[in-house]
DNA sequence: TGGGGACTAGATAGATCGCTCTAGCAAGAA
DNA sequence: TTCTTGCTAGAGCGATCTATCTAGTCCCCA
Protein backbone atom coordinates (compact mmCIF):
# COMPACT_ATOMS: atom_id res chain seq x y z
CA UNK A 1 0.00 0.00 0.00
CA UNK A 2 1.41 3.35 -1.00
CA UNK A 3 0.23 5.35 2.00
CA UNK A 4 1.57 2.70 4.34
CA UNK A 5 5.12 3.07 3.15
CA UNK A 6 4.57 6.79 3.00
CA UNK A 7 3.72 7.17 6.65
CA UNK A 8 6.59 4.99 7.77
CA UNK A 9 9.00 6.92 5.57
CA UNK A 10 7.68 10.26 6.73
CA UNK A 11 8.31 9.22 10.33
CA UNK A 12 11.83 8.11 9.43
CA UNK A 13 12.56 11.25 7.47
CA UNK A 14 11.35 13.58 10.21
CA UNK A 15 13.22 11.62 12.88
CA UNK A 16 16.40 11.71 10.85
CA UNK A 17 16.24 15.46 10.52
CA UNK A 18 15.41 16.04 14.19
CA UNK A 19 18.01 13.63 15.53
CA UNK A 20 20.73 14.83 13.18
CA UNK A 21 20.20 18.34 14.50
CA UNK A 22 19.19 17.87 18.09
CA UNK A 23 20.45 14.43 19.06
CA UNK A 24 18.75 11.37 20.48
CA UNK A 25 17.71 12.54 23.95
CA UNK A 26 16.90 15.96 22.53
CA UNK A 27 14.34 14.60 20.11
CA UNK A 28 10.94 13.76 21.56
CA UNK A 29 8.51 11.33 19.98
CA UNK A 30 5.84 14.02 20.19
CA UNK A 31 8.08 16.18 18.04
CA UNK A 32 8.46 13.34 15.59
CA UNK A 33 4.73 12.79 15.15
CA UNK A 34 4.13 16.52 14.87
CA UNK A 35 6.87 17.04 12.30
CA UNK A 36 5.92 14.00 10.25
CA UNK A 37 2.20 14.56 10.46
CA UNK A 38 1.81 10.90 11.39
CA UNK A 39 -0.55 9.73 14.10
CA UNK A 40 1.03 8.62 17.34
CA UNK A 41 -0.39 5.13 17.03
CA UNK A 42 1.36 4.63 13.71
CA UNK A 43 4.72 5.29 15.29
CA UNK A 44 4.45 2.26 17.53
CA UNK A 45 2.78 0.26 14.79
CA UNK A 46 5.80 0.68 12.50
CA UNK A 47 8.42 0.81 15.22
CA UNK A 48 7.30 -1.51 18.01
CA UNK A 49 10.77 -1.27 19.50
CA UNK A 50 10.04 2.37 20.30
CA UNK A 51 12.47 5.22 20.20
CA UNK A 52 15.54 3.01 20.14
CA UNK A 53 14.41 1.06 17.10
CA UNK A 54 13.47 4.30 15.38
CA UNK A 55 16.93 5.70 16.05
CA UNK A 56 18.58 2.54 14.84
CA UNK A 57 16.78 2.72 11.51
CA UNK A 58 17.51 6.42 11.23
CA UNK A 59 21.21 5.77 11.77
CA UNK A 60 21.34 2.95 9.24
CA UNK A 61 19.35 4.95 6.71
CA UNK A 62 21.59 7.97 7.09
CA UNK A 63 24.60 5.69 6.83
CA UNK A 64 23.40 4.19 3.55
CA UNK A 65 22.55 7.56 2.12
CA UNK A 66 25.94 9.03 2.93
CA UNK A 67 27.69 5.93 1.62
CA UNK A 68 25.80 6.18 -1.65
CA UNK A 69 26.73 9.83 -1.89
CA UNK A 70 30.39 8.98 -1.44
CA UNK A 71 30.25 6.20 -4.02
CA UNK A 72 28.57 8.53 -6.46
CA UNK A 73 31.24 11.19 -6.04
CA UNK A 74 33.95 8.53 -6.29
CA UNK A 75 32.43 7.22 -9.51
CA UNK A 76 32.27 10.68 -10.98
CA UNK A 77 35.93 11.30 -10.15
CA UNK A 78 36.67 8.25 -12.27
CA UNK A 79 39.78 6.97 -10.54
CA UNK A 80 41.23 10.35 -9.62
CA UNK A 81 41.15 10.01 -5.84
CA UNK A 82 42.54 13.50 -5.26
CA UNK A 83 39.64 14.98 -7.20
CA UNK A 84 37.33 12.65 -5.31
CA UNK A 85 38.51 13.97 -1.94
CA UNK A 86 38.32 17.58 -3.07
CA UNK A 87 34.85 17.08 -4.49
CA UNK A 88 33.65 15.36 -1.36
CA UNK A 89 34.77 18.13 0.99
CA UNK A 90 33.51 20.82 -1.37
CA UNK A 91 30.12 19.14 -1.54
CA UNK A 92 30.00 18.84 2.23
CA UNK A 93 30.75 22.54 2.63
CA UNK A 94 28.07 23.41 0.10
CA UNK A 95 25.46 21.31 1.90
CA UNK A 96 26.32 22.82 5.25
CA UNK A 97 26.01 26.32 3.85
CA UNK A 98 22.77 25.63 1.99
CA UNK A 99 21.09 24.17 5.07
CA UNK A 100 22.18 27.13 7.19
CA UNK A 101 24.68 25.05 9.18
CA UNK A 102 22.10 22.53 10.27
CA UNK A 103 22.75 19.41 8.19
CA UNK A 104 26.19 17.91 8.27
CA UNK A 105 26.98 14.32 9.27
CA UNK A 106 23.76 12.31 9.60
CA UNK A 107 24.95 10.33 12.58
CA UNK A 108 27.70 12.21 14.44
CA UNK A 109 25.43 14.08 16.85
CA UNK A 110 23.78 10.88 17.98
CA UNK A 111 27.06 8.95 17.86
CA UNK A 112 28.76 11.19 20.41
CA UNK A 113 25.70 11.24 22.63
CA UNK A 114 25.18 7.48 22.78
CA UNK A 115 28.82 6.35 22.76
CA UNK A 116 28.87 6.07 26.55
CA UNK A 117 25.18 5.66 27.30
CA UNK A 118 23.59 3.19 24.88
CA UNK A 119 25.55 0.20 23.71
CA UNK A 120 23.00 -0.84 21.06
CA UNK A 121 23.07 2.50 19.30
CA UNK A 122 26.81 2.89 19.77
CA UNK A 123 27.49 -0.34 17.91
CA UNK A 124 25.05 0.69 15.19
CA UNK A 125 27.01 3.91 14.73
CA UNK A 126 30.23 1.92 14.74
CA UNK A 127 28.92 -0.28 11.92
CA UNK A 128 28.00 2.77 9.88
CA UNK A 129 31.38 4.43 10.34
CA UNK A 130 33.09 1.18 9.47
CA UNK A 131 31.09 0.87 6.26
CA UNK A 132 32.25 4.33 5.25
CA UNK A 133 35.86 3.56 6.11
CA UNK A 134 35.70 0.34 4.09
CA UNK A 135 34.35 2.16 1.06
CA UNK A 136 37.01 4.84 1.20
CA UNK A 137 39.78 2.33 1.78
CA UNK A 138 38.67 0.37 -1.26
CA UNK A 139 38.78 3.47 -3.46
CA UNK A 140 42.25 4.39 -2.28
CA UNK A 141 43.47 0.84 -2.83
CA UNK A 142 42.04 0.85 -6.34
CA UNK A 143 44.15 3.94 -6.99
CA UNK A 144 47.25 1.96 -6.12
CA UNK A 145 47.75 2.92 -2.47
CA UNK A 146 48.80 -0.05 -0.31
CA UNK A 147 46.13 -1.47 1.94
CA UNK A 148 47.52 -0.32 5.29
CA UNK A 149 48.28 3.13 4.02
CA UNK A 150 44.83 3.35 2.44
CA UNK A 151 43.23 2.48 5.77
CA UNK A 152 45.19 5.16 7.62
CA UNK A 153 44.33 7.69 4.95
CA UNK A 154 40.64 6.80 5.24
CA UNK A 155 40.73 7.15 9.02
CA UNK A 156 42.43 10.51 8.71
CA UNK A 157 40.03 11.73 6.05
CA UNK A 158 36.92 10.73 7.96
CA UNK A 159 38.33 12.24 11.14
CA UNK A 160 39.03 15.52 9.38
CA UNK A 161 35.58 15.52 7.81
CA UNK A 162 33.72 14.79 11.04
CA UNK A 163 35.70 17.32 13.03
CA UNK A 164 35.30 19.97 10.36
CA UNK A 165 31.54 19.35 10.52
CA UNK A 166 31.62 20.01 14.26
CA UNK A 167 33.52 23.25 13.79
CA UNK A 168 31.43 24.36 10.82
CA UNK A 169 28.13 23.90 12.60
CA UNK A 170 29.35 25.52 15.80
CA UNK A 171 31.25 28.44 14.24
CA UNK A 172 28.73 28.87 11.42
CA UNK A 173 31.59 29.00 8.99
CA UNK A 174 32.79 26.45 6.47
CA UNK A 175 36.46 27.41 6.55
CA UNK A 176 37.29 24.31 8.62
CA UNK A 177 35.85 22.18 5.81
CA UNK A 178 37.87 24.11 3.23
CA UNK A 179 41.08 23.79 5.23
CA UNK A 180 40.54 20.13 6.03
CA UNK A 181 39.65 19.37 2.41
CA UNK A 182 42.81 20.98 1.11
CA UNK A 183 44.94 19.16 3.67
CA UNK A 184 43.33 15.81 2.86
CA UNK A 185 43.79 16.36 -0.86
CA UNK A 186 47.46 16.89 -0.20
CA UNK A 187 47.70 13.83 2.02
CA UNK A 188 46.11 11.81 -0.76
CA UNK A 189 48.55 13.19 -3.31
CA UNK A 190 51.43 12.24 -1.06
CA UNK A 191 50.11 8.71 -0.59
CA UNK A 192 49.87 8.35 -4.36
CA UNK A 193 53.41 9.63 -4.84
CA UNK A 194 54.72 7.16 -2.27
CA UNK A 195 53.19 4.10 -3.90
CA UNK A 196 55.52 1.51 -5.38
CA UNK B 1 33.96 29.50 52.97
CA UNK B 2 35.66 26.33 51.93
CA UNK B 3 32.60 24.10 51.79
CA UNK B 4 30.74 26.71 49.77
CA UNK B 5 33.23 26.67 46.97
CA UNK B 6 33.43 22.92 47.34
CA UNK B 7 29.76 22.29 46.71
CA UNK B 8 29.66 24.58 43.72
CA UNK B 9 32.72 22.93 42.25
CA UNK B 10 31.39 19.47 42.88
CA UNK B 11 28.23 20.36 40.96
CA UNK B 12 30.31 21.74 38.10
CA UNK B 13 32.60 18.74 38.03
CA UNK B 14 29.78 16.21 38.03
CA UNK B 15 27.89 18.16 35.37
CA UNK B 16 30.97 18.37 33.19
CA UNK B 17 31.45 14.63 33.31
CA UNK B 18 27.81 13.84 32.63
CA UNK B 19 27.39 16.36 29.82
CA UNK B 20 30.68 15.43 28.16
CA UNK B 21 29.50 11.84 27.98
CA UNK B 22 25.76 12.08 27.56
CA UNK B 23 25.12 15.54 26.18
CA UNK B 24 22.97 18.43 27.34
CA UNK B 25 19.46 17.05 26.89
CA UNK B 26 20.69 13.65 28.04
CA UNK B 27 21.84 14.94 31.40
CA UNK B 28 19.16 15.48 34.03
CA UNK B 29 19.54 17.81 36.99
CA UNK B 30 18.52 14.98 39.28
CA UNK B 31 21.49 13.04 37.92
CA UNK B 32 23.71 16.01 38.63
CA UNK B 33 22.67 16.34 42.26
CA UNK B 34 22.95 12.59 42.76
CA UNK B 35 26.40 12.37 41.19
CA UNK B 36 27.71 15.43 42.97
CA UNK B 37 26.16 14.65 46.33
CA UNK B 38 24.95 18.23 46.48
CA UNK B 39 21.47 19.13 47.69
CA UNK B 40 19.01 20.18 45.04
CA UNK B 41 18.50 23.58 46.61
CA UNK B 42 22.20 24.37 46.27
CA UNK B 43 22.06 23.85 42.54
CA UNK B 44 19.67 26.75 42.06
CA UNK B 45 21.41 28.77 44.72
CA UNK B 46 24.69 28.65 42.81
CA UNK B 47 23.20 28.54 39.33
CA UNK B 48 20.02 30.65 39.39
CA UNK B 49 20.00 30.54 35.60
CA UNK B 50 19.23 26.85 35.83
CA UNK B 51 20.43 24.16 33.49
CA UNK B 52 21.50 26.55 30.77
CA UNK B 53 23.74 28.56 33.08
CA UNK B 54 25.19 25.36 34.45
CA UNK B 55 25.98 24.15 30.94
CA UNK B 56 27.53 27.47 30.04
CA UNK B 57 29.91 27.31 32.97
CA UNK B 58 30.68 23.68 32.24
CA UNK B 59 31.58 24.55 28.65
CA UNK B 60 33.77 27.48 29.63
CA UNK B 61 35.46 25.46 32.36
CA UNK B 62 36.17 22.59 30.00
CA UNK B 63 37.42 25.07 27.43
CA UNK B 64 39.87 26.62 29.88
CA UNK B 65 41.09 23.26 31.05
CA UNK B 66 41.74 21.99 27.56
CA UNK B 67 43.41 25.24 26.58
CA UNK B 68 45.72 25.03 29.58
CA UNK B 69 46.54 21.45 28.66
CA UNK B 70 47.46 22.51 25.15
CA UNK B 71 49.61 25.39 26.39
CA UNK B 72 51.37 23.07 28.79
CA UNK B 73 52.18 20.59 26.04
CA UNK B 74 53.27 23.40 23.75
CA UNK B 75 55.57 24.77 26.45
CA UNK B 76 57.09 21.37 27.02
CA UNK B 77 57.76 20.96 23.29
CA UNK B 78 59.81 24.15 23.57
CA UNK B 79 59.30 25.55 20.10
CA UNK B 80 59.24 22.24 18.26
CA UNK B 81 55.69 22.40 16.89
CA UNK B 82 55.92 19.00 15.23
CA UNK B 83 56.72 17.41 18.60
CA UNK B 84 53.93 19.51 20.09
CA UNK B 85 51.37 18.12 17.65
CA UNK B 86 52.57 14.55 18.11
CA UNK B 87 52.52 14.87 21.86
CA UNK B 88 49.05 16.39 21.83
CA UNK B 89 47.49 13.59 19.77
CA UNK B 90 49.36 10.93 21.73
CA UNK B 91 48.12 12.39 25.00
CA UNK B 92 44.58 12.51 23.66
CA UNK B 93 44.73 8.86 22.66
CA UNK B 94 46.10 7.93 26.06
CA UNK B 95 43.30 9.78 27.87
CA UNK B 96 40.64 8.17 25.72
CA UNK B 97 42.04 4.73 26.40
CA UNK B 98 42.47 5.30 30.13
CA UNK B 99 38.89 6.49 30.56
CA UNK B 100 37.56 3.51 28.60
CA UNK B 101 36.54 5.66 25.61
CA UNK B 102 34.40 7.96 27.69
CA UNK B 103 36.34 11.20 28.03
CA UNK B 104 37.50 12.92 24.89
CA UNK B 105 36.64 16.51 23.94
CA UNK B 106 34.98 18.28 26.87
CA UNK B 107 32.55 20.22 24.70
CA UNK B 108 32.02 18.43 21.36
CA UNK B 109 29.05 16.31 22.44
CA UNK B 110 27.17 19.35 23.67
CA UNK B 111 28.40 21.49 20.78
CA UNK B 112 26.85 19.26 18.12
CA UNK B 113 23.65 18.91 20.08
CA UNK B 114 23.05 22.61 20.66
CA UNK B 115 24.39 23.98 17.37
CA UNK B 116 20.91 24.10 15.88
CA UNK B 117 18.78 24.24 19.01
CA UNK B 118 20.23 26.69 21.53
CA UNK B 119 21.85 29.86 20.30
CA UNK B 120 23.25 30.84 23.71
CA UNK B 121 25.12 27.58 24.18
CA UNK B 122 26.14 27.42 20.52
CA UNK B 123 27.90 30.76 20.77
CA UNK B 124 29.56 29.70 24.02
CA UNK B 125 30.94 26.63 22.24
CA UNK B 126 32.03 28.84 19.36
CA UNK B 127 33.98 31.06 21.74
CA UNK B 128 35.71 28.05 23.26
CA UNK B 129 36.69 26.59 19.89
CA UNK B 130 37.93 30.00 18.79
CA UNK B 131 40.10 30.30 21.89
CA UNK B 132 41.73 26.98 21.05
CA UNK B 133 42.25 27.96 17.43
CA UNK B 134 43.82 31.23 18.50
CA UNK B 135 46.22 29.47 20.84
CA UNK B 136 47.29 26.96 18.21
CA UNK B 137 47.64 29.63 15.55
CA UNK B 138 49.90 31.64 17.82
CA UNK B 139 52.17 28.66 18.45
CA UNK B 140 52.47 27.92 14.74
CA UNK B 141 53.22 31.57 14.00
CA UNK B 142 55.90 31.61 16.65
CA UNK B 143 57.51 28.70 14.83
CA UNK B 144 57.75 30.85 11.71
CA UNK B 145 54.66 29.76 9.81
CA UNK B 146 52.88 32.70 8.14
CA UNK B 147 49.67 33.84 9.80
CA UNK B 148 47.19 32.64 7.18
CA UNK B 149 48.88 29.31 6.81
CA UNK B 150 49.04 28.92 10.60
CA UNK B 151 45.30 29.53 10.82
CA UNK B 152 44.52 26.92 8.19
CA UNK B 153 46.81 24.45 9.90
CA UNK B 154 45.08 25.07 13.23
CA UNK B 155 41.65 24.57 11.66
CA UNK B 156 42.82 21.34 10.08
CA UNK B 157 44.43 20.08 13.25
CA UNK B 158 41.40 20.80 15.44
CA UNK B 159 39.12 19.25 12.83
CA UNK B 160 41.22 16.11 12.72
CA UNK B 161 41.34 15.93 16.50
CA UNK B 162 37.62 16.40 17.01
CA UNK B 163 36.70 13.93 14.30
CA UNK B 164 39.19 11.37 15.59
CA UNK B 165 37.56 11.75 19.01
CA UNK B 166 34.18 10.93 17.47
CA UNK B 167 35.56 7.83 15.76
CA UNK B 168 37.57 6.73 18.78
CA UNK B 169 34.63 6.89 21.16
CA UNK B 170 32.27 5.21 18.72
CA UNK B 171 34.62 2.50 17.45
CA UNK B 172 36.30 2.03 20.83
CA UNK B 173 39.63 2.20 19.12
CA UNK B 174 42.24 4.93 19.11
CA UNK B 175 43.64 4.21 15.67
CA UNK B 176 41.85 7.26 14.24
CA UNK B 177 43.74 9.41 16.74
CA UNK B 178 47.01 7.75 15.80
CA UNK B 179 46.39 8.17 12.07
CA UNK B 180 45.21 11.77 12.43
CA UNK B 181 48.14 12.62 14.68
CA UNK B 182 50.66 11.28 12.20
CA UNK B 183 49.00 13.13 9.33
CA UNK B 184 48.90 16.38 11.27
CA UNK B 185 52.54 16.03 12.28
CA UNK B 186 53.37 15.72 8.61
CA UNK B 187 51.22 18.70 7.65
CA UNK B 188 53.03 20.73 10.29
CA UNK B 189 56.40 19.61 8.96
CA UNK B 190 55.37 20.65 5.48
CA UNK B 191 54.20 24.07 6.68
CA UNK B 192 57.57 24.57 8.37
CA UNK B 193 59.45 23.54 5.23
CA UNK B 194 57.43 26.01 3.15
CA UNK B 195 58.16 29.01 5.34
CA UNK B 196 60.28 31.82 3.93
C1' DT C 1 -21.34 -9.15 1.43
C1' DG C 2 -18.78 -10.16 5.25
C1' DG C 3 -14.36 -11.12 7.59
C1' DG C 4 -9.66 -9.87 8.75
C1' DG C 5 -5.42 -7.60 8.73
C1' DA C 6 -3.23 -3.04 8.33
C1' DC C 7 -3.35 1.29 9.88
C1' DT C 8 -5.22 5.50 12.24
C1' DA C 9 -6.47 8.00 16.31
C1' DG C 10 -5.77 9.69 20.67
C1' DA C 11 -6.62 9.16 25.67
C1' DT C 12 -3.99 7.90 29.32
C1' DA C 13 -0.58 5.69 32.49
C1' DG C 14 3.51 6.18 35.10
C1' DA C 15 7.80 8.13 35.34
C1' DT C 16 10.78 11.93 34.95
C1' DC C 17 11.71 16.61 33.47
C1' DG C 18 13.29 21.51 34.95
C1' DC C 19 12.21 24.46 38.36
C1' DT C 20 10.10 26.92 42.58
C1' DC C 21 9.04 27.16 47.08
C1' DT C 22 9.35 27.27 52.10
C1' DA C 23 11.77 26.11 56.15
C1' DG C 24 15.74 25.56 58.77
C1' DC C 25 20.69 25.69 59.91
C1' DA C 26 25.39 27.70 60.65
C1' DA C 27 28.38 31.39 61.37
C1' DG C 28 30.00 36.16 61.30
C1' DA C 29 28.50 41.12 62.50
C1' DA C 30 26.47 44.30 65.56
C1' DT D 1 22.63 37.63 72.32
C1' DT D 2 20.27 38.81 68.16
C1' DC D 3 20.16 39.78 63.36
C1' DT D 4 21.64 38.84 58.80
C1' DT D 5 23.46 36.33 55.17
C1' DG D 6 24.81 32.13 52.78
C1' DC D 7 23.76 27.71 52.20
C1' DT D 8 21.33 23.24 52.97
C1' DA D 9 17.34 20.33 52.48
C1' DG D 10 13.71 18.38 50.03
C1' DA D 11 8.66 18.49 49.07
C1' DG D 12 6.08 19.36 45.31
C1' DC D 13 4.35 21.95 40.87
C1' DG D 14 3.10 21.71 36.11
C1' DA D 15 4.85 20.07 32.02
C1' DT D 16 6.63 16.62 29.22
C1' DC D 17 8.60 12.15 28.49
C1' DT D 18 8.12 7.20 26.48
C1' DA D 19 5.02 3.74 26.03
C1' DT D 20 0.53 1.19 26.22
C1' DC D 21 -4.13 0.50 25.42
C1' DT D 22 -8.65 0.40 23.32
C1' DA D 23 -11.60 1.73 19.49
C1' DG D 24 -12.47 2.69 15.20
C1' DT D 25 -11.56 3.03 10.06
C1' DC D 26 -10.10 1.44 5.77
C1' DC D 27 -9.44 -1.71 2.09
C1' DC D 28 -8.41 -6.13 0.11
C1' DC D 29 -9.96 -10.62 -0.79
C1' DA D 30 -12.81 -14.51 -0.26
* Contacts with B115 from chain A: Cβ below 8 Å: 21, 101-102, 169-170
Mean pLDDT of B181-186: 98
- Chain D positions with an atom below 7 A of a protein C-beta are 6-12, 16-23, 28
Q: Is the CB of A30 under 7 A from strand D?
A: yes
Q: B126 to chain A, minimum CA–CA distance in Å?
A: 5
B56: Cβ under 7 Å from strand C?
Answer: no
Q: What is this structure's pTM? A: 0.95
Which pLDDT tens digit goes with each residue over A65-112? 999 999 999 999 999 999 999 999 999 999 999 999 999 999 999 999
Q: B195 pLDDT band (50/70/90 cuts)?
A: confident
What CATH number was assigned to the domain covering residues A57-193?
1.10.357.10
DSSP assignments along chain A, one per residue: -HHHHHHHHHHHHHHHHHHHHH-STT--HHHHHHHHT--HHHHHHH-TTHHHHHHHHHHHHHHHHHHHHHHHHHHHHTT-HHHHHHHHHHHHHHHHHHTTS--S-SSHHHHHHHTTT-HHHHHHHHHHHHHHHHHHHHHHHHTT--HHHHHHHHHHHHHHHHHHHHHHHHHT-THHHHHHHHHHHHHHHHHHHH--
d(CA B70, CA A169): 23
Contacts of B108 in chain A (CB under 8 A): 112, 166
The partner residue sitting opposite B159, judged by closest CB among A108, A155, A164, is A164
State the pLDDT at residue B65. Answer: 98
Contact state of B163 with A167 under an 8 Å Cβ cutoff: no
A166/B166 CB distance under 8 A: yes
Estimate in Å the CA A115 to C1' D30 gap, whole number.
52
Nearest C-alpha in A relative to B25: A26
Confidence (pLDDT) at A4: 40
Answer yes or no: is pLDDT of B188 > 60.
Answer: yes
Q: CA at B144, C1' at C16: how many angstroms apart?
A: 56
Banded pLDDT at A8 (limits 50, 70, 90)? very high
Cα diameter, chain A: 60
- Interchain proximity A159–B166, CB inside 8 Å: yes
B85 within 8 A of B154, measured Cβ to Cβ: no
Q: Decide: A136 and A191 in contact? Cβ < 8 Å.
A: no
State pLDDT tens for residues A114-141: 999 999 999 999 999 999 999 999 999 9
- Among residues A2, A106, A27, the alpha carbon closest in space to that of A61 is found at A106
What value does the CA radius of gyration of chain A take, rounded to a whole number of Å? 18
* Across B138-163, average pLDDT: 98
Closest-CA residue of A relative to B165 is A159
> With contact defined as beta carbons under 8 Å apart, do B153 and A149 qualify?
no
CA distance B45 to B50: 9
Task: List all residues 6 or more positions away from B168 whose beta carbon is below 8 Å from its beta carbon.
Answer: B93, B96, B101, B104, B174, B176, B177
**In sequence order, what DSSP letters do the residues of B80-117 get, joined into one string?**
-HHHHHHHHHHHHHHHHHHTTS--S-SSHHHHHHHTTT
CB contact under 8 A, A23 and B108: no
pLDDT by residue (tens digit) across B59-99? 999 999 999 999 999 999 999 999 999 999 999 999 999 99
pLDDT at position A5: 56
Give me the pLDDT at residue A24, please.
Answer: 98
Contacting A residues, span 62-101, partner chain B, CB-CB under 8 Å: 101
Mutate which: B25, B99, B163, B179, vs A, most A CBs within 10 A: B163
In angstroms, the CA B94 to CA B96 distance is 5
Are A57 and A47 in contact by the 8 Å Cβ rule? The answer is: yes
**Quick one: which of A88, A69, A81 has its CA closest to A186?**
A81
Q: What is the pLDDT of residue A139?
A: 98
User: Alpha carbon of B31 to those of A105, A112, A119, A149, B2: distances in Å?
Assistant: 29, 19, 20, 44, 24
Yes or no: say if B189 and B140 are a contact pair by the CB < 8 Å rule.
no
Helix B2-22 × helix B29-36 angle, to 10°: 130
Q: Is B78 helix (H, G, I), strand (E, B) or coil?
A: coil
Closest CA to B174 of B109, B100, B85: B100
Amino acid sequence: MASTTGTRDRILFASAELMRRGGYAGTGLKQVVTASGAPFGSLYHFFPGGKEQLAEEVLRGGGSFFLALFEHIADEADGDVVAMVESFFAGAAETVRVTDYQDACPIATVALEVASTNETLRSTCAEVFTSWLDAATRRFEEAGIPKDRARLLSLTMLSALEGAFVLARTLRDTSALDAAGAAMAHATRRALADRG
